């Protein structure tokens, strides 16, 4: 498997450390998202080497989940690393939010519920702290179901509160992350609360003119809930956005069930949702999947980068890419490949005769210090794992 086996069609996203293309597999005609990283760039930013390996490993271990993007292939050439991922034709949840300003409760509850199932799988089955939950990292497939993407900041933390890096997107960071304290899975539940607040109000819960002010407000500011939110919405958000992690909903071993049984989710049939039997409230308009119509023209109009580039690696033998990226290659199980995109058929399409259808990324220190910190709406290295970097 190599880059030559895929025909690049459009750019879906671009970040500091890589690019995502929509590609067609030449042998099958199937569409994928190809996430590529320049080795020379990763080697300059050495902390990104392990993070990129971790992302690939996490995606492999997830294998298949209805609401997490799938990895089909991973390979490399002299200049780049490649991840071949599920193509989420519906684009970012962030884009759909912008079109509507904010979601009504039932619509928000649907996507928050699918996120609950994704986070439950990551935490309980894989020991993964996601660390960058935000609307830009939530994609929609052609039917409108959510796909969580971009594991570039994720970490395996099987022993509980073993993370310390200040990493993520400022507006959705938990207080303990901002303060540089040890933290664990509870940070993802804070981020779910912040994302839910954003979905139903049009803004994150704590804002400011710059990252420092936002961080101060996250740590010291009082949560202010708009009057139009229902009592059950206010209750859930208040419990998810508790500043003390041990008091936060999601921290305790039985809290997942408490979340699922919360009256905010009273209309959710969790078993049916897990089987993808609940109709999504958003059905993306898809005229032609190859046009990537649900992705920003900021990226889809960009010229495509060369398939192969030659890199210069300097004289450090220990940073020779032939050594650094050993074991990166991967091929998904035949059953996953055979079932390719089985749930991504459909979408709202227009018949041919239907005329009426209508602040920079911050990378400072390694673990135990500052990691990557971005702002809301920024496409640093988390635009999509289908689109995200």
With contact defined as beta carbons under 8 Å apart, do 329 and 76 qualify? yes
For CA atoms 75, 147, 175, 182, the dihedral sign is: negative
The per-residue DSSP string of 245-260 comes to: GGGSTTSSTTHHHHHH
Contacts of 37 (CB under 8 A, 6+ apart): 17, 18, 52, 80, 81, 389
Buried b (16+ CB within 10 A) or exposed e, 96-111: bbeeeebbebebbbbb
With contact defined as beta carbons under 8 Å apart, do 64 and 335 qualify? no
| Phi, psi angle pair for 269, to nearest 5° | -95, 100
Selecting among 77, 106, 132, 354, the annotated active-site residue is 132
Residues in a beta bridge with 25: 6
Q: Which among 166, 197, 195, 196 is positioned nearest to 183, based on CA atoms?
A: 166
132: annotated active-site residue:
yes
Q: Which residues are annotated as catalytic? A: 132
């Amino acid at each position: 498997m190599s880059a030559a086996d895929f025909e690049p069609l459009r750019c879906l996203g671009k970040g500091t450390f890589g690019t995502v293309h929509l590609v067609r597999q030449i042998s099958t005609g199937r569409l994928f998202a190809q996430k590529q990283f320049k080795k020379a760039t990763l080697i300059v930013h050495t902390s990104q080497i392990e993070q990129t390996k971790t992302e690939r490993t996490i995606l492999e271990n997830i294998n298949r989940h209805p609401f997490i993007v799938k990895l089909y292939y991973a390979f490399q050439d002299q200049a780049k690393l490649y991840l071949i991922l599920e193509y989420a034709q519906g684009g970012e949840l962030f884009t759909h939010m912008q079109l509507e300003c904010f979601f009504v409760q039932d619509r928000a509850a649907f996507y928050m519920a699918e996120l609950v199932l994704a986070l439950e799988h990551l935490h309980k089955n894989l020991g993964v702290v996601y660390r960058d939950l935000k609307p830009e990292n939530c994609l929609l497939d052609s039917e409108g179901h959510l796909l969580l993407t971009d594991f570039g900041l994720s970490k395996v933390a099987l022993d509980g509160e073993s993370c310390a890096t200040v990493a993520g997107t400022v507006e959705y960071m938990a207080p303990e992350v901002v303060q540089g304290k040890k933290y664990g899975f509870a940070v993802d539940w804070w981020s779910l609360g912040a994302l839910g607040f954003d979905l139903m109000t049009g803004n994150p819960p704590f804002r400011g003119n710059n990252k420092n002010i936002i961080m101060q407000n996250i740590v010291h500011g009082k949560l202010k809930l708009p009057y139009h939110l229902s009592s059950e919405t206010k209750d859930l958000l208040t419990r998810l956005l508790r500043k003390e992690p041990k008091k936060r909903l999601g921290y305790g071993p039985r809290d997942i069930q408490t979340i699922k049984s919360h009256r905010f989710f009273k209309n959710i049939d969790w078993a049916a949702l897990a089987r993808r039997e609940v109709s999504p409230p958003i059905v993306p308009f898809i005229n032609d999947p190859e046009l990537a119509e649900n992705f920003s023209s900021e990226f889809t109009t960009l010229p495509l980068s060369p398939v192969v580039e030659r890199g210069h690696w300097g004289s450090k033998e220990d940073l020779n890419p032939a050594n650094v990226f050993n074991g990166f290659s991967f091929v998904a199980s035949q059953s996953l490949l055979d079932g390719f995109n089985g749930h991504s058929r459909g979408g709202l399409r227009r018949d041919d005769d239907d005329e009426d259808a209508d602040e920079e990324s911050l990378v400072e220190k390694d673990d135990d210090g500052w990691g990557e910190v971005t702002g809301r709406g920024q496409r640093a290295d988390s635009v999509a794992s289908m689109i995200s970097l």
